[in-house]
Amino acid sequence: MRKIFLAIGILCSVLTASAQDDMKTFVDNLMAKMTLKEKIGQLNLLPGGDITTGQAMNSPLGTLAAKGELGAILNVKGQDKIRELQEIAVKKSRLGIPMIFGQDVIHGYETVFPIPLAQACSWDLAAIEEGARIAAKEATAQGISWVYSPMVDVSIDPRWGRIAESAGEDPLLNGLVGAALIRGYQGNYGPENAMACVKHYALYGAAEAGRDYNTTDMSRVRMYNQYFLPFKMAVEAGAGSFMSSFNIVDGIPATGNKWLLTEVLRNQWKFDGFLATDYGAINEMSVHGIGEQDVCVAQALKAGTDIDMCSGAYINQLEKCLNNGTVTIADIDLACRRVLEAKYKLGLFKDPYRFCDKKRATKDMYTAESRLAARNLAAETFVLLKNQHNLLPLKKEGKIALVGPLGDTRNNLPGMWSTGDKPEKYTTLKEAMQKALKGKATVTYAQGSNIYRDAQTQKAASFGREITRVDDTQAKAEALRIARESDVIIAALGEMAEMSGESSSRSDLHLPDVQMELLQALVATGKPVVLLNYSGRPTILTWENENVNSILNVWYGGSETGDAICDVLFGDKVPSGKLTTTFPKSMGQIPMYYNHLNTGRPVPDGAQEFRKYQSNYLDIRNDELYPFGYGLSYTTFSYGDITLSANSMSQSGTVKATVTVSNTGRYDADEVVQLYIRDRFASISRPVKELKGFERISLKAGESKTISFNITPDMLKFYNSDLHFVLEPGDFDIMIGPHSKNLKTAKLTVI
């Protein structure tokens, strides 16, 4: 059992007070020997590019490393290349300062785990932490010591492709998942641990129109109450580094926003690690209209940006800025110190090659242990959205037609932002089904369609993970032929891997044209249809919900997707995933999220008619298709009424909320019990409900368990209009249930 509350403990520092003193002394002594160029060099991060083994010394990176003018490198793949570059830095530069090697290790390395949005739908923090531990183990075996994860952006607009990299729309859940990932990556900074980089600080998930890199603008009250919490929790979890976001905050690019980077992150939250820009962000400050490169450099450094990622701006301009007085040597020293301290924490000064162990490069990759962990977590992430007449689980018998362009793809299994994957090692869904049903049932397969009818649109969505183009008419005819000969149809449809992620915004989230035509034709056969919806975001499934028998949202489950889907389809495991994003009925409802503020003229949930002069649409009702926290099971659960240990509490007290949950069905299964609160009256408008805790429990068929949550003052606090974190007296709704729209309620009064 894992019981989660807002009042989480702060992770103890990796370094003891004595070790902190040792680090300070070491860095002091080293910096006393450094020239200005060497200090600026530590702030310079460049991409690896195409480094040829044995030729690193002759590359531009090798030249800079030998001069001590390069502090870190990203996206060099291969332990041999990394070791060669590290040897140049250590043996050729004047002071022998080692470099940090970073990479986008987002949801696994060679063993690929489900995309982060999917992982959050497991609500299984221990499994998520274990996945990060395995990812760090594999990445460090390849020389990587710094991973650009977790992303903890609150994401309320599914048009934004990078929602796939988040934990969804809830601040607390983003923070808890982020903290679990940080613990898994960093551990105690041993040789199998990497430094986490929390991103994107801040408000990146609020991009207007869901278009990547776009403008964001909001009040500071909203920042503190809806968007900042997961970043603060990441600091409390001990994150070693942060990455600033591309967008503006209060009109100022985050990379150069001193209030954001220094006043909030460092002074208020006490973050003591280093902060890097996102790719080329200092140069993008000029595009935002801030000034020429030297102006942007000075503003970014003084705002609190320590490392310049890939713009070359610091290395080109900082000495000039120092000479003209727009920065001071103290500004440069502070940034340099933070980078050197990170290298000290990673153990690179004691052993620059600690992440270049040749034995680990093979034995720690894609092991049976890591594959099992990925398979188990993937099965927990799948969300059963509909199951008419209990069609699922399927029996292992008869004739099964697998149809769809995602049913036999190998290179799309890992999902977006997978930089260490080896697709040739992975099992497709078709292969997994054939293995799972061998000797028991017959599996036939047809691709059925392309992803998009238009070849150029599909090419834009592929980004190196192509699916073979077919003649749509012929492919559909073949699919319908095998479908008519089958007992049940499994339709593997939805998004390609790279249709979600960075630079993958979509204006229409319905199933793409030719795929929808295929699905409609399959349904028209009259055979039972199971839709496996592949996606990296909430998609519009209104027609599917009305017409398809069963819908299982499988996201992108990673390298073990095929076997994990079979585990759930055929009943070896019971689905337990719960949505961490709202699924709307219509594009016009977006953005749509459960913890919204009320209006002065709200329409009640479930209203079936248009109401003039109230907040609703003429052509569609307000309710979502699937609410936050929703997910079906092969069994059923019932919830008793909430019992409070007291009906009132003081502003320093605690009250226990208790509920009995029963498994009333035929399958042993897991349930995610969710706790929400609502502040009925406050000095500012408060959300209609907010997630404050959850517990994932296992119940045998017929078993009941009593679950308790401690309601603490911090759970009920918020930032008021003066940005003070306060608990105001009054009445609160305490709500517990299986999802955000199915809750038992009790009233608690704070006096």
| Amino acid in position 704 | S
- Phi first, then psi: what are they for 39, rounded to 5°? -65, -45
Reported as a single tens digit per residue, the pLDDT across 451-487 is 999 999 999 999 999 999 999 999 999 999 999 999 9
Gap between the Cα atoms of 506 and 105, Å rounded: 24
Gap between the Cα atoms of 45 and 72, Å rounded: 5
* pLDDT at 578 > cutoff 50: yes
Instruction: Please state, for a pLDDT cut of 70, what percent of the chain lies above it.
Output: 97
Quote the pLDDT of residue 14.
56
Quote the pLDDT of residue 30.
98
| CA atoms within 13 A of residue 687's CA, in its CB half-sphere | 21
> 101: closest CA among 140, 72, 79?
72
Gap between the Cα atoms of 329 and 350, Å rounded: 28
Instruction: Please state, for a pLDDT cut of 90, what percent of the chain lies above it.
Output: 96
Reported as a single tens digit per residue, the pLDDT across 311-363 is 999 999 999 999 999 999 999 999 999 999 999 999 999 999 999 999 999 99
Gap between the Cα atoms of 522 and 525, Å rounded: 5
Q: For the stretch 339-370, what's the b/e string if a residue is b when 16 or more beta carbons lie within 10 angstroms of its beta carbon? A: bbbbbbbbbbbeebebbbbeebbeebbbeeeb
**Contact (CB, 8 A) for 117 and 387:** no
Model confidence at 7, in pLDDT bands (50, 70, 90)?
Answer: very low
> 449: closest CA among 525, 530, 521, 506?
521
Q: Reduce the DSSP state of residue 111 to 3 states and report it.
A: coil
Residues 6+ apart with CB under 8 A from 323: none
Reported as a single tens digit per residue, the pLDDT across 506-534 is 999 999 999 999 999 999 999 999 999 99
Model confidence at 51, in pLDDT bands (50, 70, 90)?
Answer: low
Gap between the Cα atoms of 575 and 381, Å rounded: 8
Torsion sign (Cα): 56, 62, 65, 67: positive
Quote the pLDDT of residue 59.
84
* pLDDT at 58 > cutoff 80: no
Reported as a single tens digit per residue, the pLDDT across 361-371 is 999 999 999 99
> Residue range 131-141: average pLDDT?
98
What is the pLDDT of the chain when averaged over all its residues?
96
Reported as a single tens digit per residue, the pLDDT across 294-308 is 999 999 999 999 999
| CA atoms within 13 A of residue 718's CA, in its CB half-sphere | 28
Gap between the Cα atoms of 214 and 507, Å rounded: 14
Q: Tokens 């960075």 map to which residue? A: 502
| CA atoms within 13 A of residue 411's CA, in its CB half-sphere | 8
pTM of the prediction?
0.96
* pLDDT at 399 > cutoff 60: yes
Quote the pLDDT of residue 15.
72
Based on the residue annotation, tell me whether 278 is a catalytic residue of this protein: yes
Please give the DSSP secondary-structure letter assigned to residue 151.
B
Quote the pLDDT of residue 495.
98
Catalytic entry in 124, 170, 278, 306: 278
Gap between the Cα atoms of 687 and 171, Å rounded: 12
* pLDDT at 13 > cutoff 70: no
Reported as a single tens digit per residue, the pLDDT across 585-598 is 999 999 999 999 99
**Contact (CB, 8 A) for 563 and 375:** yes
Residue 589 structure tokens? 């409802």
